[in-house]
Amino acid sequence: MRRDRLVTWLLRIYLALIFLFVFVPIATSMVFSFNSDRFPSLPLGGFTWHWYDMVYKDPDTWEAIRTSLLVALTSSVLATFIGFCTAYTDFRYRFRFKGAYLALALLPPTIPLIILALAMLAWFSKIGISGRVGSIIVAHTVLCAPFAMAVIRLRLQQMDRDLESAAWNLGANELAAMRHVVIPFTLPSIISALCLTMAVSFDEFMIAWFVSGLNKTVPVMILEILQGNVDPRINAIGSFVFAVTVTLVVVAQLLFSAKTTTTRS
Amino acid sequence: MGAAQFVLENVAKRFGNQVAVNPMNLEIRSGEFLAIMGPSGCGKTTTLRMLAGLEAPSEGEIRLNGVRINEFKPHERETPMVWQSLALFPFLNVRENVEFGLKMRGVPKAERAERAHRWLQRLEIDQFAERDIGNLSGGQRQRVALARALVTEPPVLLLDEPLSALDANLVVRMQTVLIRLQKELGITFVYVTHSQSEAFAMADRIVIMNEGSVEQVGTPREIYRAPTNRFVAEFVGTNNIIEGTVSSRKAGMLECDTALGCIRTLCGENNPIHPGNRVDLVIGADLIEVSAEPIWSDNCFPAAFIGEEFVGSVATLHFETESGDEIRVQKQQRETESLELAHGKPLYLHWDADTVYCLASRTSDERGE
């Protein structure tokens, strides 16, 4: 009894420490984004919206946010589409070398980002499409598709195989069964895959930095500001990026867990 | 019973080099209630899935009303199925589930709703029309699955162990629902099950399958009282099977040497069994009488009572004969009270010669093993 309580408490402390390590730096950055002092030091100066205002008025920021959103939206849609197709072939068919097929489909995130980024840059300049917004989209799609596949595949694994057959049996051809059964069933995971891949793309720095050329995304812009000097604008942008990604991930998580618990038949 | 609706001619199914169904021939008549019964893995579900087009036969031909349908896709057939898992669409409510088949056929919305409603009413679940599937009981879901399959008014309904997930008392209620529906609609029901009680309670004809082959096709009575081989005799009911050798045949009476002693049975004139043949004697557990004293009868043997089981009011009594064989006897529970059963109590079992069904033993070559 007493030992159990001790273990419980130790685990609680451990958990608290983990959260502390993860969130204190982010919280610090957020706090300093409202601090009027130029240099991050204690005690804090007065409260200010000044840094947000500067960021807001800087056309470069808006340009970067526009590029980031365009890239995130497009590549998340493409990655989710590819991820869905891969997950569905895995669900539906059995074929030789399926193991290899799946391993290949899941490979990109396991490659060190810098290697992937360099390879992308080399390849894009070889075929002459480097330095465009399109090249970031292609590269992010490659990076994100495995995440989308993993999420959608989990949902498909919960699907009774008879559901699709039942649709055919009731007069649906393959396309109609896909539209009226498979997609509705996987819809929560499709939406959460969209959010998740959007978050990954929105956050991603390394590849974007290598292949973007003059089309800076938000993380690339942050680095460039940082290289110049210490600037509290970073804290403001950082807080904004954090809020966007956390929202996307939380939405993804809510959709996924809510739907999976309530729709079991 | 009408004319042949489905004809299966030498239909076989293999998955890779694994045989699911050996070449089989079967005629399914229009308007009959046909049960396909057998232990798990006997090929009964595969056979049903071939009728629905969900599996393509590896060999042979399936004809529907005389037309070869091997190449027809599932959605090109009118063979709706009630699934063991029910396979209701969890993201649609009850009404939308029932409307699904109509929607796929392009029936306009208003007509869809009206026809679905009619079926929900008929199956007494119209008050749940707008509910989610997850908020229904097992029996209600069963009815939704039936309504969904029948809403397109098909000429045949395929059922794959639809009652296996229900409680015993619900099973009996659903059986009456199914029998009534089948009689009222007059369409063919093909019902796959491993449960004898379901098959015997509902079917006009029963197909017994084992290891991918059809063992016997017949009415429930034929299957029960006149099994054509030992597998069927063992599979159905609580038959006692005693092996023996025919020792004499005169005037329609056979005498067989068995471990128990000499068992007498009747034998039709055309029966090709002769002295020296090995036979399996099938004695229905419900046809054996028990008495405290020896009785003059065609067959009477002493046996010790060793145990009993109850299912409702029916008791299955287990006896051990002097040869060490076990014999099962089924009695109404109230009939057993006068016997004052106690473990090891010596009693006498007797049965008439005309209750014994005599089967020629199949040798292993005949089985094709």
- Residues of chain B found within 8 Å of residue A165, distances taken between Cβ atoms: 54, 74, 87
Nearest chain A CA: its distance from B80 CA (Å): 6
Q: Mark whether B310 and B354 lie in a shared domain.
A: yes
Nearest chain B CA: its distance from A255 CA (Å): 14
Q: Is residue B235 included in any domain, yes or no? A: no
Task: Tell me what the pLDDT averaged over chain A comes to.
Answer: 85
Which residues have C-beta within 8 Å of that of residue A201, sequence separation ≥ 6? A71, A72, A75, A76, A79, A140, A143, A144
Q: Which of B75, B105, B134 sits opposite A263 (nearest CB)?
A: B134
Does the pLDDT at position B365 exceed 50?
A: no
**Both structure tokens of B160:** 């794959």
Residue of B nearest to A184 (CA): B91
Q: Is residue B121 included in any domain, yes or no? A: yes
pLDDT of residue A265: 38
> Of A225-229, B40-44, B365-369, which range is least confident?
B365-369
pLDDT of residue B191: 94
Does the pLDDT at position A16 exceed 80?
A: yes
Q: Mark whether B18 and B166 lie in a shared domain.
A: yes
Start-to-end Cα distance in chain B: 36
CA distance linking residue B295 with residue B290, whole number of Å: 10
pLDDT per position as a tens digit, A233-260: 788 888 888 888 888 888 878 876 765 5
Residues B188-225 as b or e (16 or more Cβ within 10 Å = b):
bbbbbbbebebbbbbbebbbbbbbbbbbbbbebeebbb
Q: Mark whether B206 and B72 lie in a shared domain.
A: yes
- Interface contact B165, partner A, CB < 8 A: no
Does the pLDDT at position A45 exceed 80?
A: no
Confidence of residue A1 (pLDDT cuts 50, 70, 90): low
What is the average pLDDT across B206-218?
92
Q: Mark whether B194 and B250 lie in a shared domain.
A: no
pLDDT of residue B369: 36
Residue of B nearest to A170 (CA): B101
Confidence of residue A46 (pLDDT cuts 50, 70, 90): confident
DSSP 3-state assignment of B212? coil
Query: Are B100 and A167 in contact (CB < 8 Å)?
Result: yes
**Which of B225, B248, B268 delimits the end of a domain?**
B225
In one-letter notation, the amino acid at residue B239 is N
pLDDT of residue A40: 66
pLDDT of residue B34: 94
Q: Mark whether B187 and B296 lie in a shared domain.
A: no
**Which of B169, B200, B225 delimits the end of a domain?**
B225
pLDDT of residue B360: 79
Q: Mark whether B81 and B198 lie in a shared domain.
A: yes
- The strand order across the sheet containing B213-218 reads B81-82, B156-160, B188-193, B33-37, B205-210, B213-218
User: Would you put residue A152 in left (φ > 0), alpha (ψ -120 to 50) or beta?
Assistant: alpha
Q: Mark whether B178 and B253 lie in a shared domain.
A: no
Closest CA to B166 of B145, B189, B190: B145
Could you tell me the CA-to-CA distances from B32 to A24, A99, B29, B44, B62 in Å, in that order?
A: 74, 47, 6, 17, 18
Does the pLDDT at position B368 exceed 50?
A: no
CATH number of the domain to which B83 belongs: 3.40.50.300
Residue of A nearest to B99 (CA): A170
Q: Is residue B230 included in any domain, yes or no? A: no
**Which of B225, B248, B277 delimits the end of a domain?**
B225
CA distance linking residue A245 with residue A26, whole number of Å: 13
pLDDT per position as a tens digit, A181-195: 999 999 989 988 998
pLDDT of residue B362: 61
Q: Which of B52, B54, B90 sits opposite A264 (nearest CB)?
A: B90
Q: Is residue B54 included in any domain, yes or no? A: yes
Q: Mark whether B346 and B202 lie in a shared domain.
A: no
pLDDT of residue A135: 87
pLDDT per position as a tens digit, B271-285: 777 788 888 888 888
Which residues have C-beta within 8 Å of that of residue B26, sequence separation ≥ 6? B6, B7, B8, B11, B47, B207, B214, B217
Q: Is residue B231 included in any domain, yes or no? A: no
pLDDT of residue B367: 43
Closest CA to B112 of B122, B121, B103: B103
pLDDT per position as a tens digit, B128-159: 988 899 888 888 999 999 999 999 999 999 99
Q: Is residue B234 included in any domain, yes or no? A: no
Give the other-Cβ count within 10 Å of B36's Cβ: 29
Query: Are A263 and B89 in contact (CB < 8 Å)?
Result: no
- Residues of chain A found within 8 Å of residue B141, distances taken between Cβ atoms: 265
Q: Mark whether B9 and B96 lie in a shared domain.
A: yes
Could you tell me the CA-to-CA distances from A153 to A76, A87, A89, A185 in Å, in that order?
A: 16, 5, 10, 12
CATH number of the domain to which B279 belongs: 2.40.50.100
Q: Is residue B161 included in any domain, yes or no? A: yes
Q: Mark whether B20 and B50 lie in a shared domain.
A: yes
ipTM entry: 0.80
Task: Tell me what the pLDDT averaged over chain B comes to.
Answer: 87
Q: Mark whether B33 and B157 lie in a shared domain.
A: yes
Find out whether B292 and B347 touch, Cβ atoms under 8 Å.
Answer: yes
Query: Are A262 and B134 in contact (CB < 8 Å)?
Result: yes
Total domains in the fold of chain B:
2
Q: Mark whether B16 and B52 lie in a shared domain.
A: yes
Does the pLDDT at position A262 exceed 50?
A: no
β-bridge pairing B205-210 and B33-37? parallel
Nearest chain A CA: its distance from B235 CA (Å): 29
Q: Which of A163, A176, A265 sits opposite B104 (nearest CB)?
A: A176
pLDDT per position as a tens digit, B105-133: 999 999 999 999 999 999 998 899 888 99
DSSP 3-state assignment of A116? helix
- The range of the structural domain enclosing residue B360 comes to 240-368
- Residues of chain B found within 8 Å of residue A265, distances taken between Cβ atoms: 86, 88, 90, 133-134, 141
**Both structure tokens of B78:** 């009118």
C-alpha A257, offset from chain centre:
17
Residues 111-150 of B with CB under 8 A from A: 133-134, 141, 148-149
Nearest chain A CA: its distance from B147 CA (Å): 12
Q: Is residue B356 included in any domain, yes or no? A: yes
Task: Report pTM.
Answer: 0.78
HSE of B244 in the Cβ direction (CA atoms, 13 Å)?
29
CA distance linking residue A232 with residue A38, whole number of Å: 6
Residues A77-109 as b or e (16 or more Cβ within 10 Å = b):
bbbbbbbbebbbebbeeeeeeeeeebeebbebe
